Amino acid sequence: MADITQKVPENVPGRYYVDATCIDCDLCRETAPLNFIRQDAEGYSYVFRQPDGPVQEAACLAAMEECPVEAIGDDGDR
């Protein structure tokens, strides 16, 4: 489970976030490309845009559920 105390600093405020356990597997960026992007220098993903609408919400939820290291969190802040 993602740890909100380990959120990477690039995450925009809001419900979804990526923590420091991200292994840069690209799954979230492929699943929700309108919401996740890569931090190239350090090699991890982060949320650059919170979901806008049900399609993006479903994509972010799918990315969170499929993340192999559970690095994506949902703090419930809608």
17-71: per-residue pLDDT in tens? 999 999 999 999 999 999 999 999 999 999 999 999 999 999 999 999 999 999 9
Q: Is the pTM of this model over 0.85?
A: yes
The predicted pLDDT at position 4 comes to 95
pLDDT at 77 over 70: no
Torsion region of 53: left, alpha or beta (phi above 0 gives left; psi -120 to 50 gives alpha): left
Count of beta carbons in the 10 Å neighbourhood of residue 68: 8
Please answer whether residues 50 and 37 qualify as being in contact, where contact means their C-beta atoms are separated by less than 8 angstroms. no
Residue 1: band (very low, low, confident or very high) from pLDDT cuts 50, 70, 90: confident
Q: Domain spans of the chain?
A: 4-74
The predicted pLDDT at position 78 comes to 52
Domain 4-74 sits in CATH 2.60.120.260: no
The predicted pLDDT at position 15 comes to 95
Q: What mean pLDDT is predicted for residues 9-14?
A: 97
What tokens appear for 25 in the block? 């597997």
Q: What Cα–Cα distance (Å) separates residue 47 from each residue in 15, 27, 34, 70? A: 10, 13, 9, 14
